[in-house]
Amino acid sequence: MARYKIIFAYDGTSFAGFQKQPNQRTVEGVIEKAVNKMAKKKENIIGIYASGRTDAGVHALAQVAHFDFPFEITEIGMLKGLNSLMPLDIQINDVKIVSDDFHARYQVTGKKYIYRIDLGEFTNPFKRNYTTHWRFPYNLKDIKLAINDLIGEHDFSSFVASGSKVSSNIRYIYDANVNYDEANNELIFQFYGNGFLYNQVRIMVGVLMQIGQGKRPVSDIQRLLKLKNRQEARLTMGASGLYLKKVYYPGDDPEHAVPKTRRVIS
């Protein structure tokens, strides 16, 4: 038995999310089927365990998962074998044989997400599945000021969608920033933290864009963090602009390592 860690990218457009669902095409289901086919299993008895789930339409640049394989194949052999079985909207980028105590979900120390907003006057048919369109005026200076209030350890109860099943809404955001991409006429948000709640990034971006639009004061994030009321931050931006950029494990980023007593995974 050998444990493999895989890093992979996927276009979430045609998936009903990451997690397996009956009669639905999911990222987990496609990769699990390929792993079992390589192991010559008639049924999907080998499960894969990812760093976390993504919703329908959400993309990943470097998702991480592990699985236990019944016999050892070289890393390059596993990489080539899995990619030969992948559809065009999934690519396995890296494969490593890891120790039996590695766990793709429970050992995560941080995640980095990006969110892309297309600022064109009309919806671009070639970007509609990979950005969220925003056609309203905005003040980038106000957004840049407001985003700093998200940095640090906070109770993000105002920024979590209903349906979340975690025991605590406290998360630590190490860095949050936004920049204008002139070449593509896009706003690019980036959030790096020890974990994120259900729809948290999409809700935070929604509040920030409303601040930029002038519908909220620049200081409103401070109010929302204290209020802990989801009904005060109702806008959830679309899934198509969200990307899981990187998943961190012990040793990947010593500067932002979080003690086990404070580590929270979503």
Q: How far apart are CA 180 and CA 116, in angstroms?
A: 10
Question: Which residues have CB under 8 Å from 77's CB, separation 6+?
Answer: none
What pLDDT score does 44 carry? 81
Domain that holds residue 46: 2-98
Q: Would 243 be classed as within a structural domain?
A: yes
Q: Would 135 be classed as within a structural domain?
A: yes
Which of 35, 69, 98 marks a domain boundary? 98
The answer on 72 and 188 residing in a single domain is no
Counted domains in the chain: 2
Q: How far apart are CA 106 and CA 59, in angstroms?
A: 21
What pLDDT score does 42 carry? 80
The answer on 216 and 139 residing in a single domain is yes
Q: How far apart are CA 266 and CA 248, in angstroms?
A: 13
Which of 72, 98, 124 marks a domain boundary? 98
DSSP string, 200-236: HHHHHHHHHHHHHHTSS-TTHHHHHHHH--GGGS---
Helix (H) or strand (E) holding 148: none
Active site residue 100: no
* Block mean pLDDT (10 aa), the chain, length 266: 97 97 96 96 90 96 98 97 98 98 96 97 96 96 98 96 84 96 98 95 98 97 96 95 97 70 47
The answer on 196 and 87 residing in a single domain is no
The answer on 164 and 247 residing in a single domain is yes
Q: Which of 11, 55, 68, 89 is catalytic?
A: 55
What pLDDT score does 255 carry? 75
Q: What is the pTM of this model?
A: 0.93
The answer on 251 and 193 residing in a single domain is yes
What pLDDT score does 265 carry? 46
Q: Would 103 be classed as within a structural domain?
A: no
Q: Would 104 be classed as within a structural domain?
A: no
DSSP string, 105-128: TTT--EEEEEEEEE--SS--TTTT
What pLDDT score does 261 carry? 45
What pLDDT score does 259 carry? 53
